[in-house]
């Protein structure tokens, strides 16, 4: 009951939305793998293979070097935002808005495909050097641009959350972790990064760098543009400052405060869950090809049926709940990855060891195989 009293409606909303984003992004990623496999089979007479890296040029696979240097790059970006925010805020706001527009269009694309399927052919419309797009893609992009414009004009937190959701899903779907080794390197480095900038940055910079950057609003580009062009004192001055979509925020039931969760605390564990979902699918296909060969003899059949995805997802929920309770007990911001990383990685490593998959998942979990893949509807 004590733990329940420390979690209000805003935290519950954060839990549900973050889990839904991770699940949806992971299945979109798996769906993209299936589509790429089907395209490879159509374009080549050779058998397609299910591997960790996709042939799609838009998909980025993180290697060990990138996993090690990503926390360093994030730290440099954080310091730039901390010291030079006034100088780069407009550029950063515009870049964020452009990325959020593309990401939210990706989030809306399945819905737009469903809506346009009965009344519009799937032929692509040419826009010259801009490329060729289907009616569903044009509709999703138009809706996304409209939402971003309304967000710029109003600065409403719901619109900011919608853009942040698009960014989460797009990053989970387009970024790949190729192995458990890279996953451990990335999440461990980001855990150290998160703990340092939340707990220890105040001793060096006399301010909590992470919290200040995450909560600092930026000038509205319309206001800046009106001042630069000298459009008059009343033009653009009534637009609000913008809280950038780098986080999810939900107001409490009393409206006295907002619950906040950075998108990095959703995306980085989400990449791990996306990896284990792809491995679950690969193992299922491998077992079906080998006529359902049983696992190690010391593991019960019930244990074998438990998927890595469900185990890791439950660990994410428990870690998020623990982080929330800790923040309410200590009445201070908590590095969410301090709780999320152990609660996701440790159960995964333990289950992989018990099932005998740890060595395979650690280095090269996906092997070339010639098996048909089934398209997954999301």
The Cα 106–Cα 137 span in angstroms is 8
Residue 60 near residue 309 (C-beta atoms within 8 A): no
The Cα 80–Cα 359 span in angstroms is 40
The Cα 295–Cα 356 span in angstroms is 8
Choose the catalytic residue: 8, 194, 223, 357.
Answer: 194
194 flagged as catalytic: yes
The Cα 330–Cα 44 span in angstroms is 59
The Cα 35–Cα 219 span in angstroms is 41
Using a 10 angstrom Cβ sphere, with 0-12 exposed, 13-18 middle and 19 or more buried, the burial of residue 91 is exposed
- Tokens 């299936």 locate to 34
280 flagged as catalytic: no
User: Sign (positive/negative) of CA torsion 320, 162, 277, 65?
Assistant: negative
- Structure tokens, 44: 């080549």
- Structure tokens, 200: 């220890």
Choose the catalytic residue: 33, 161, 265, 357.
Answer: 265
Cα separation of the two ends of the chain: 37
Q: Strand 125-126 and strand 258-262: pairing?
A: unpaired
Q: Cα-flanking dihedrals φ and ψ of residue 123, to 5°?
A: -65, 145
Percent helix / strand / coil, the chain, rounded to 5: 65, 5, 30
How many CB atoms are located within 10 Å of the residue 289 CB? 13
How many CB atoms are located within 10 Å of the residue 179 CB? 21
CA-atom Rg of the chain in angstroms = 22
| Residue positions annotated with a catalytic role | 194, 265
């Amino acid at each position: 009951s004590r733990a329940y009293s420390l979690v209000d409606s805003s935290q519950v909303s954060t839990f549900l939305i973050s889990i839904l984003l991770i699940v949806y992004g992971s299945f979109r990623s798996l769906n993209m793998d299936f589509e790429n496999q089907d395209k490879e089979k159509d374009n080549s007479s050779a058998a397609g293979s299910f591997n960790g890296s996709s042939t799609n040029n838009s998909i980025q696979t993180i290697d060990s070097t990138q996993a090690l240097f990503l926390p360093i790059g994030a730290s440099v970006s954080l310091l730039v935002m901390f010291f030079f925010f006034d100088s780069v805020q407009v550029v950063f706001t515009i870049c964020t808005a452009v990325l959020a527009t593309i990401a939210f269009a990706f989030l809306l694309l399945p819905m737009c495909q469903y809506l346009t399927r009965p009344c519009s052919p799937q032929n692509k419309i040419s826009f010259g050097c801009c490329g060729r797009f289907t009616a569903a893609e044009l509709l999703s992009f138009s809706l996304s641009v409209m939402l971003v414009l309304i967000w710029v004009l109003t600065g409403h937190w719901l619109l900011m959350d919608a853009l942040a959701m698009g960014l989460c899903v797009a990053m989970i779907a387009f970024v790949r972790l190729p192995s458990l080794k890279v996953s451990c390197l990335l999440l461990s480095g980001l855990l150290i990064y998160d703990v340092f900038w939340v707990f220890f940055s105040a001793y060096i910079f006399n301010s909590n760098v992470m919290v200040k950057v995450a909560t600092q609003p930026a000038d509205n580009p319309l206001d800046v543009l009106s001042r630069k062009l000298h459009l008059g004192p009343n033009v653009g001055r009534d637009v609000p400052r913008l809280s950038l979509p780098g986080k999810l925020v939900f107001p409490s039931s009393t409206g006295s405060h907002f619950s906040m969760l950075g998108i990095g605390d959703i995306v980085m564990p989400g990449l791990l869950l996306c990896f284990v979902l792809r491995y679950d699918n690969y193992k299922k296909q491998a077992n079906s090809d080998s006529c359902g060969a049983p696992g190690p003899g010391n593991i019960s059949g019930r244990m074998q049926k438990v998927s890595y995805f469900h185990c890791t997802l439950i660990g994410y929920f428990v870690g998020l709940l623990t982080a929330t309770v800790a923040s309410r007990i200590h009445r201070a911001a908590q590095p969410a990855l301090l709780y999320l990383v152990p609660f996701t990685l440790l159960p995964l490593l333990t289950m992989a060891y018990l099932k005998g998959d740890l060595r395979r998942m650690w280095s090269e979990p996906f092997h070339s195989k010639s098996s048909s893949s089934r398209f997954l509807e999301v």
